[in-house]
Chains A and B, each alone.
Chain A
């Protein structure tokens, strides 16, 4: 089977840096994705890691360690609009994604 674990909630202040961790167990692994979802909205893609290391996209970075079955999303210079739920998702091939339960990020002024 497959399972992904991420913290249920994280709180941080505007301007700070926050890291959201994701550990996974899966029988097949092609890559780890991150999605953002605001309340009542649809998920939107943030990043994808297929290989070990760090991927940077603006204020957001994502890291993967395949040997540790671990990844994280790093959000820098937090803004109020970053308050949302963040999901890690494992791709096991043929573009089928298994999502974690999500981390709710609250950014406080």
Chain B
């Protein structure tokens, strides 16, 4: 199993550009989440999904969209990038009934 994979690993965007961060898991986990982590901070929940077709907002959803059309994939879309969105983005998955979240390696995004 590859676990949770994220692409790209690094990305530089200009203000106003849009892009999609990809996240996939091959563990057939029901739950998937997106977090952002700013330097020296904890992770903040952006959006999460409890199953295909079901998504919900976390603490900091503004400026981001998600969809969950399959169990495996959970892409995060930045609609119009802003410098405040410069961060490391982590995707995570979790099996229903379990407590452990498995994190991907992260995408380091810089918006100039």
Contact B48 A95 (CB under 8 A): yes
Interface size class of A (residues with CB under 8 A): 20 to 34
Q: How far is it, in angstroms, between the C-alpha of A42 and the C-alpha of B44 when the chains are bound?
A: 14
Q: Does the CB pair A95–B33 fall under 8 Å?
A: yes
The answer to whether B48 and A102 touch across the interface, beta carbons within 8 angstroms, is no
A94-B48, A95-B48 are known contacts. Are A43 and B43 too (CB-CB below 8 A)? Answer: yes
In the complex, chain B residues 38-79 whose Cβ is within 8 Å of any chain A Cβ: 40-45, 48, 50, 56, 58-59
Interface pair B59/A43, CB less than 8 Å apart: no
Q: B99 is contacted by which of A31, A98, A100 (Cβ under 8 Å)?
A: A31
Could you tell me the dominant secondary structure of chain A's interface residues?
strand
- Cβ of B86 within 8 Å of any chain A Cβ, yes or no, is no
Residues on B with C-beta less than 8 A from A29 are none
On chain A, the residues within 8 Å of B33 by CB distance are 95-97
Check A101 for interface membership: any CB of B closer than 8 A: yes
Q: Is B101 an interface residue (CB 8 A)?
A: yes
Contact status A102-B99, CB under 8 Å: no
Q: Which residue of A lies closest to B32 (CB)?
A: A95
Interface set of B (CB-CB < 8 Å, partner A): 31, 33, 35, 40-45, 48, 50, 56, 58-59, 90, 94, 99-106
Give 19 pairs: A residue, B residue, CB < 8 Å, sorted on A: A31-B99, A33-B101, A42-B105, A43-B103, A48-B100, A50-B99, A89-B42, A89-B43, A94-B56, A95-B48, A95-B50, A95-B94, A96-B33, A96-B48, A96-B56, A96-B58, A97-B45, A98-B45, A101-B41
